[in-house]
Structure 1
Amino acid sequence: MSTDGALSRSRLLPSLLGILLLLMGLAMLAGGIKLSLLGGSLYYLLAGIGLALTGVLLIAARRAALGLYALVLFSSTVWALWEVGLDWWQLVPRLAMLFALGIVMLLPWFRRPLLRAGAAPMGTGALSVAVVLAGATALASQFSNPGEIKGQLDRDSVPGMTNTAPAMPDGDWNSYGRSAHGDRYSPLAQITPQNVNKLVPAWTYRTGDLPGPNDPGETTAENTPLKVNGMLYVCTPHSQVIALDPDTGKEIWRFDPKLSTQNAENFKGWAHMTCRGVTYHDDAVYASEQSPTGTASTTPVSTVCPRRIFLPTADTRLIALDADTGKMCEDFGDKGQVDLRANIGGFTAGGYYSTSPPAVTKDLVVIGGHVTDNVSTDEPSGVIRAFDVHTGKLVWNWDSGNPDDTTPIAADEVYTRNSPNMWSMFAVDEKLGMLYLPMGNQTPDQFGGDRTPESELHAAGLTALDIATGQVRWHMQFTHHDLWDMDVGGQPTLMDLKTADGVKPAVLASTKQGSIYVLDRSTGEPIVPIHEVPVPQGAVEGDRTSPTQPKSELNLMPPPLQERDMWGVTPFDQLICRIDFKSMRYDGPFTPPSLQGSIVYPGNFGVFDWGGIAVDPVRQIAFVNPSYMAFKSKMIPASEIAAQGPRKSETEGVQPNKGAPYGVVLEALLSPMGLPCQAPAWGYVAAIDLTTSKTIWMHKNGTVRDSSPVPIPLSMGVPSLGGTVTTASGVGFLSGTLDQYLRAYDVKNGKQLWEGRLPAGAQTTPMTYTGKDGKQYVLVVAGGHGSLGTKQGDYVIAYKLSE
């Protein structure tokens, strides 16, 4: 074998590595030039030059390659520490690949061919130092937890504070938020921080309702079942109701409304297929109540369906069922149902129906409706309608486009088209005689140039209605002239709150922008101060922006994004995210939509969405799950919409906004790898002391096990969709994270106490109850979420303590 041949083969590995570094360097250089022209960091341009030259030197078998690469790695480490400090997940895209390549270059097979016989190993020492420094930086970052707040609640109760929600048996869960107050607080204490790790599956039931071939992308199992009347009541995405035995999960009865459009081709045009819950009404509860004068109530107990389940269906009906048998209550409406299409005008299939359970009071069942966003300016009204709980007769209607006239509409009239709607859950205070409505805005979401003063008045805020008449008692707006889809998605929470001025009846409204507004629920006056803060200006032609937006002193709003917050698995997707960031308009929260493209952060996914919050009225804390995901929007002139292709879903393709001068492309701000462009964590659990409005603790929550190409359970803090639950023992539960787990936490310090692996995503709010056996159960629906890409299924799973 010739010496020249052996030398040639020994140089093969450095040459191959050199080609790789040259290509990497040229790609980084090209991206770096573009980023620098946008006013971004010069690092990528300089690093690209360094990597490309290192590649050339390796191909030429020059030992100077080691020293030059050492300079690139050392400089990158210093730059990374200057930008993000000891933040492990921020350091990964900046240093991990360069660190690994540095180790490769120090291996004898790569290094020796560069060192001529008798020559000093110049560059080896420098590269070794650079690799050690980068490794030490990674090691040191393991002891740092940016964004987390460590704390400990030092009380089990606040003197004099009790649960003032409507009374029910401790072991029941008879409303979506357990009570009509939407507190999601259970007085059960059998499961404790000390024994919760002994939870095991008690039973699993499968509904059989799985997404079909013609279903919309957002087919979701967002249901929180009820436990009342000795049964569990579950609803499915296709509006079926199933009554189960709470101890065994055995099916007692099932009702299938036979949706008029089920399996039809026009299902494909729908935005959602969702049932968040059903509602229970029991005449006997009201018949046993004392009147304000102290005498027994004269409310009659119905002989037909004295206990009712109210079901909103995806084909726009409100159905009353006998809670004992599942048969339709013939005395309600038209043989058990009310047609909600009445008086709202035309709409495409799926464009209007109620995805959330109605509210019930002594005499009324009250319902709102989902209106598909960004399709046109001629969509159904967001009217709220109250029907007699027994007969189904319309008692009053509140249309935010005509808010003063609540007299039942005439048969030949139509409610105000396109008025703001309420698609989420009501809260009810029957003692005060009020309903609390978390309001959305008027579609289209990102253009408001054609909105009327009437439609603006009640949009994106909280409106309190008189139960008996539907008249407005008070209202408070949380986003002025909403151009960001900042619907108030969560159910308002009612509780008595201890303040410096005494105990006050409060309503807490969690919002997408991260503020939690705390108001006196009898008057609407702020309990926690709200400040009008200046926001960016400059809407598209034909629109305007509000000069200020209201911000509560109680908030979990994130700091504004910066270029250095852009993230990726590698330097290259991070670079692309930086270019994307610098290419769009972003001036902080409430940056107006633009033709250039604007970043929306927090995005319309929301810091808090329909999951709302849970409160412990005895400890006077809130247990919450904030999420942080940036979105981007780009306005498209109406004349250019057709060329963009058809709308695919509410977050894919151009949203046409027919009738408006602009359509919009609205989507999450993602890297080419499909991961968020902003750095983790993207999801947390937290507790707030409601007596001081201070965050007690906040910890990142959830892993990427079920959302990354490699199912490694790395704890990064992932978004969650669904709500929290808290109990008297101090154990809280959450299931809505993107990974498939039900988790339990100590609400005093946020420590994760237990997790149960689920067979599908559980973008729901769990609940807890007592079975006939006297045991406390925790129940969750795991059916997945089409839009979030979590695994879909049809599971109802109950857990209890092992014997």
Structure 2
Amino acid sequence: MTVTSNARPGGLPARLLGILFMLLGLGLLGLGIKLATLGGSLYYLGGGVLLALSGYLLCIRRASGVWVYAFFLVVSTAWAVLEVQFDWWQLVPRLALWFVLGLVLLIPVFRRPLDSRSGGLPLVGSLVIAAVVALVAQFVNYNRLDGDLGRDTAGTESAAPTAADGDWPSYGRTAFGDRYSPLKQIDVNNVKNLEPVWTFRTGDIPGPNDPQETTAENTPLKVNGMLYVCTPHSQVIAVDPDSGKEIWRFDPKLSTQHADSFKGWAHMTCRGVAYHDDATYAGTTTAGQSPATGSAVPVDEQSTPAASSCPRRLFLPTADTRLIAINADTGKVCSDFGDNGQVDLTANMGSFTPGGYYSTSPPAVTRNLVIIGGHVTDNVSTDEPSGVIRAYDVHTGKLVWNWDSGNPDATAPIAADGIYTRNSPNMWSMMAVDEKVGMVYLPMGNQMPDQWGGNRTPASEKYSAGVVALDIATGKVRWNYQFTHHDLWDMDVGGQPTLVDIKTAGGVKPALMASTKQGSIYVLDRTNGQPIYPITETPVPQGAVEGDRTSPTQPVSSINLAAPTLKESDMWGGTPFDQALCRIAFREHRYEGIYTPPSTQGSIVYPGNFGVFDWGGISVDPVRQIAFLNPSYMAFTSKLVPREEIANQPARKSETEGIQPNKGAPYGVILSAFLSPLGLPCQAPAWGYVAGLDLTTGKLVYKHKNGTVRDNSPVPLPLPMGVPSLGGTVTTAGGVAFLSGTLDQYLRAYDVKNGKELWKGRLPAGGQTTPMTYTGKDGRQYVLVYAGGHGSLGTKQGDYVMAFALPEKK
């Protein structure tokens, strides 16, 4: 007697595919059970059951396995659309793998061994449904705002200090920090023709003994017929602006107590140098005003020397805590400044670990003063150096005043044996200056540690995480406005304040614009600190750890680019599996939106430590009355670790790796980017945008995702997902804005009125800095960028200074 079977012979391929489906299904099921116990989506649990069942049926060569898979794919597609609608990049991790496996299952070699009811038609149908959803998603663009400013002038002009049109004499081009150039040789019509003209290599490349965050965040100056470039190891190089040839080089010969090893340092950064020219102030007699009467007062008893040995000088803050005056003509030190050309910034600071305090940013200069703050390494201890701001005579290096936020009224120069208040809030970024109103504006950090504030002093609570305006003449506080109360999220004000006269319904206002990590752009009257656009005290999550507290409200500006509160459905990944792991991590952390307090459970910080806006700040076009912005969105996590458990944690490697010890506080902290096991962000793209803000209305004109993952993915595909950028933007009278800080290696040009990308030029390394533009001796307009990469962001590092220009006319 012969026994027959409905199953066909030769079923090994089907069995192997079935085993794969079963393994994937069981894995999905396990993750689904975990997620369900945390109150998360039930899809992964149910999907895991269906996928495993389909695999089992394929193993025993039943066509019903195809039917089950088709049903699983339809359910997955429907669930994905319900969660994220037709957002392409959110659909990809939910459906791409299942779609590909469905195509494989459609291949005859896998279905031929099954019984006669092959299930081919239902599978085709499910694939078509998924394909249609993907096709529709190609024509949908969420979170995009399209608009056009619609004007080339608002009838206003720049109020910034006068500078030669073709020069870039200050970090933000002027002391107003506006990053606006009146050049218009390059415009929206011809910018597409930009080409590399020359490349200069500084020779300063990160070495094995350098810290991870060795970065070339420098914006070179162009003034005095030269370009002045600052490198991570505090070298200054004068370069010919037309040819890129080196003219002179100054090397401060950094010293350290660790046999030339900088590994233990948090940073190795030089964002720039400052330039002072006596001729700029020829004929002027004042650079300050009395806060009481508004009458003009001299800055100090010093006067401009009749025949200075350095009438044009650069001020270099070094990584080993010196302020050096350099002859801008020759590159030699100005021996009449301080002690043979330098001031020791360790004076009156007390003890600190090498690298734990120094100025990463250029000082501000006025008629008679050079004013400097300093970076203090985050989260090391509660006994760190002071955040004091010091003003020195620009010619002699004599200390004229000091403002210590821990002792804010004592601005007279400290006694020789005095020590500034330990651990007072610091100012590590770039200041802005308005000499006409006699004020210098400080973007403030906070008192260490960042995530625990149980022992902060009243003075530190008052002056941290906001802008403080000091009188140039005396260092006395004229006004201050705090943007984060009792900051527990490292929301220091990173960007240089931007000063611009804004045309409002109530007339033209002398404004200060402060971009912040939390996403608000605060617009204040720079003469008195009063809001021009509304700022509202808004209730925020409560519940700090034992020994600390939270502010019941936080000030939120009406101009606010903060991202919406994250949801579980916003979790992302390369596959359904790491997406599920991100969902589990989301549920395991504490998160109630922005300002969720730090916790021992672990809290999600969104926006994260780099913020929506960081040290790159913003740029403004004062004629068109538009601000060009580059907001970024990356979530971080913080976890407080009780003091007795710190020894069990991995040692600190950087500010986002290992335990941050917070010696003297009851908690250390672990900080990290919120990433999937594959190293991808756990929150869905886009992660970076360009945007335009109409200054006259306070409304966004446009917001477009910006940048590709070409240089951050295993396969260099230029997928336009929108990536973060670190560094600032530049606007020009030609209607073109420039940005180089994206994680892919490009310098890009945009139409400032509508945000359209007009051109991009490939860079040999990461461009995490702010570009600038100038006119050469040959009359051509150049766009310059320092492409040196960024250690913490993982972009390619280098030492390239690159100039682009339009083709020469023949």
Q: Name the TM-score class by shorter chain.
A: over 0.9
Determine whether 1:284 maps to 2:289. Answer: no
Residue 47 of structure 1 aligns with which residue?
Answer: 47
Determine whether 1:461 maps to 2:456. Answer: no
- Give 1:127 shift: 1.4
1:460 partner amino acid:
A
Using the alignment, how far apart are the partners of 1:224 and 1:500 within structure 2? 35
Using the alignment, how far apart are the partners of 2:159 and 2:62 within structure 1? 78
Using the alignment, how far apart are the partners of 2:720 and 2:92 within structure 1? 14
Q: What secondary structure is seen at the aligned counterpart in 1 of 2:543?
A: coil
Determine whether 1:771 maps to 2:767. Answer: no
1:204 partner amino acid:
T
Residue 620 of structure 1 aligns with which residue?
Answer: 625
Work out which of the residue numbers 662, 667, 676 in structure 2 matches 1:657.
662
Asked if the contact 2:324–2:342 (Cα under 8 Å) also holds between the matched residues in 1, the reply is: yes
Work out which of the residue numbers 350, 360, 375 in structure 2 matches 1:345.
350
Work out which of the residue numbers 380, 385, 391 in structure 2 matches 1:380.
385
Asked if the contact 1:283–1:302 (Cα under 8 Å) also holds between the matched residues in 2, the reply is: no
Determine whether 1:264 maps to 2:264. Answer: no
Using the alignment, how far apart are the partners of 1:547 and 1:234 within structure 2? 46
Equivalences for residues 581-592 of structure 1 within 5 A: 581-592=586-597
Equivalences for residues 474-489 of structure 1 within 5 A: 474-489=479-494
Determine whether 1:728 maps to 2:724. Answer: no
Residue 142 of structure 1 aligns with which residue?
Answer: 138
2:418 partner amino acid:
E
Determine whether 1:802 maps to 2:797. Answer: no
**More displaced stretch, 69-78 vs 5-14:** 5-14
For structure 1, list consecutive stretches of 5 or more residues without a partner in the other structure. Answer: none
2:205 partner amino acid:
L
Using the alignment, how far apart are the partners of 2:307 and 2:89 within structure 1? 61
Work out which of the residue numbers 326, 349, 353 in structure 2 matches 1:321.
326
Work out which of the residue numbers 529, 537, 551 in structure 1 matches 2:534.
529
Work out which of the residue numbers 304, 308, 312 in structure 2 matches 1:303.
308
Asked if the contact 1:189–1:728 (Cα under 8 Å) also holds between the matched residues in 2, the reply is: yes
Residue 635 of structure 2 aligns with which residue?
Answer: 630
Equivalences for residues 120-269 of structure 1 within 5 A: 120-121=117-118, 123-159=119-155, 161-261=156-256, 264=259, 266-269=261-264
Using the alignment, how far apart are the partners of 1:182 and 1:115 within structure 2? 74
Using the alignment, how far apart are the partners of 1:46 and 1:270 within structure 2? 50
1:392-450: CA deviation from partner (whole Å, max 9, x where unpaired): 00000000000011010001110000000000000000000000000001110000001
Work out which of the residue numbers 543, 566, 571 in structure 2 matches 1:566.
571
Using the alignment, how far apart are the partners of 1:369 and 1:621 within structure 2? 31
CA 1:262/1:718 → structure 2, altered by over 3 Å: closer, same or farther?
A: farther
Q: RMSD over aligned Cα, in angstroms? A: 1.7
1:682-738: CA deviation from partner (whole Å, max 9, x where unpaired): 000010101111110111000111011111110100000000000001100000000
Q: What secondary structure is seen at the aligned counterpart in 1 of 2:104?
A: helix
Using the alignment, how far apart are the partners of 1:28 and 1:265 within structure 2? 51
Using the alignment, how far apart are the partners of 2:738 and 2:283 within structure 1? 33
Equivalences for residues 74-113 of structure 1 within 5 A: 74-113=74-113
- Give 1:660 shift: 0.2
Work out which of the residue numbers 666, 671, 674 in structure 2 matches 1:666.
671
CA 1:481/1:512 → structure 2, altered by over 3 Å: closer, same or farther?
A: same
Residue 738 of structure 1 aligns with which residue?
Answer: 743
Asked if the contact 2:70–2:126 (Cα under 8 Å) also holds between the matched residues in 1, the reply is: yes
Using the alignment, how far apart are the partners of 1:299 and 1:306 within structure 2? 9
Using the alignment, how far apart are the partners of 1:621 and 1:302 within structure 2? 43
Determine whether 1:360 maps to 2:365. Answer: yes
Asked if the contact 1:214–1:264 (Cα under 8 Å) also holds between the matched residues in 2, the reply is: no
Residue 292 of structure 2 aligns with which residue?
Answer: none
TM-score (norm 1): 0.97
Q: What secondary structure is seen at the aligned counterpart in 2 of 1:798?
A: strand
CA 1:55/1:281 → structure 2, altered by over 3 Å: closer, same or farther?
A: same
Work out which of the residue numbers 404, 412, 419 in structure 1 matches 2:417.
412
Asked if the contact 2:604–2:635 (Cα under 8 Å) also holds between the matched residues in 1, the reply is: yes
Using the alignment, how far apart are the partners of 1:704 and 1:40 within structure 2? 30
1:197-238: CA deviation from partner (whole Å, max 9, x where unpaired): 111111100000001111000000000000000000000000
Using the alignment, how far apart are the partners of 2:327 and 2:431 within structure 1? 23
Asked if the contact 2:8–2:115 (Cα under 8 Å) also holds between the matched residues in 1, the reply is: no
Residue 513 of structure 1 aligns with which residue?
Answer: 518
Using the alignment, how far apart are the partners of 2:727 and 2:481 within structure 1? 25
Asked if the contact 1:58–1:65 (Cα under 8 Å) also holds between the matched residues in 2, the reply is: yes
- Give 1:554 shift: 0.7
2:224 partner amino acid:
N
- Give 1:4 shift: 11
1:136 partner amino acid:
V
Using the alignment, how far apart are the partners of 1:272 and 1:290 within structure 2? 40
**More displaced stretch, 253-262 vs 315-324:** 253-262
- Give 1:355 shift: 0.1
CA 1:443/1:572 → structure 2, altered by over 3 Å: closer, same or farther?
A: same
- Give 1:8 shift: 7.7
2:234 partner amino acid:
S
Q: What secondary structure is seen at the aligned counterpart in 2 of 1:125?
A: helix
2:44 partner amino acid:
Y
Using the alignment, how far apart are the partners of 2:9 and 2:593 within structure 1? 56
Asked if the contact 1:286–1:299 (Cα under 8 Å) also holds between the matched residues in 2, the reply is: no
Using the alignment, how far apart are the partners of 1:276 and 1:10 within structure 2? 68
- Give 1:246 shift: 0.3
- Give 1:5 shift: 14
Using the alignment, how far apart are the partners of 1:745 and 1:775 within structure 2? 20
For structure 2, list consecutive stretches of 5 or more residues without a partner in the other structure. Answer: 288-294
Using the alignment, how far apart are the partners of 2:182 and 2:514 within structure 1? 22
1:77 partner amino acid:
T
Asked if the contact 2:313–2:328 (Cα under 8 Å) also holds between the matched residues in 1, the reply is: yes
Using the alignment, how far apart are the partners of 2:460 and 2:106 within structure 1? 67
- Give 1:802 shift: 1.1
1:571 partner amino acid:
P
**More displaced stretch, 45-54 vs 253-262:** 253-262
**Identity in percent:** 72
Asked if the contact 1:608–1:626 (Cα under 8 Å) also holds between the matched residues in 2, the reply is: yes
- Give 1:291 shift: 6.9
Using the alignment, how far apart are the partners of 1:779 and 1:288 within structure 2? 33
1:91 partner amino acid:
L
Work out which of the residue numbers 722, 743, 752 in structure 2 matches 1:747.
752
Asked if the contact 1:212–1:263 (Cα under 8 Å) also holds between the matched residues in 2, the reply is: no
Asked if the contact 2:652–2:658 (Cα under 8 Å) also holds between the matched residues in 1, the reply is: yes
User: Number of paired residues?
Assistant: 795
Asked if the contact 1:311–1:320 (Cα under 8 Å) also holds between the matched residues in 2, the reply is: yes
Q: What secondary structure is seen at the aligned counterpart in 1 of 2:727?
A: coil
Q: What secondary structure is seen at the aligned counterpart in 2 of 1:721?
A: coil
CA 1:302/1:381 → structure 2, altered by over 3 Å: closer, same or farther?
A: farther
Using the alignment, how far apart are the partners of 1:555 and 1:712 within structure 2? 33
1:126 partner amino acid:
P
Work out which of the residue numbers 551, 555, 561 in structure 2 matches 1:550.
555
**More displaced stretch, 86-95 vs 257-266:** 257-266
- Give 1:303 shift: 2.3
Asked if the contact 2:581–2:676 (Cα under 8 Å) also holds between the matched residues in 1, the reply is: yes
Asked if the contact 1:495–1:506 (Cα under 8 Å) also holds between the matched residues in 2, the reply is: yes
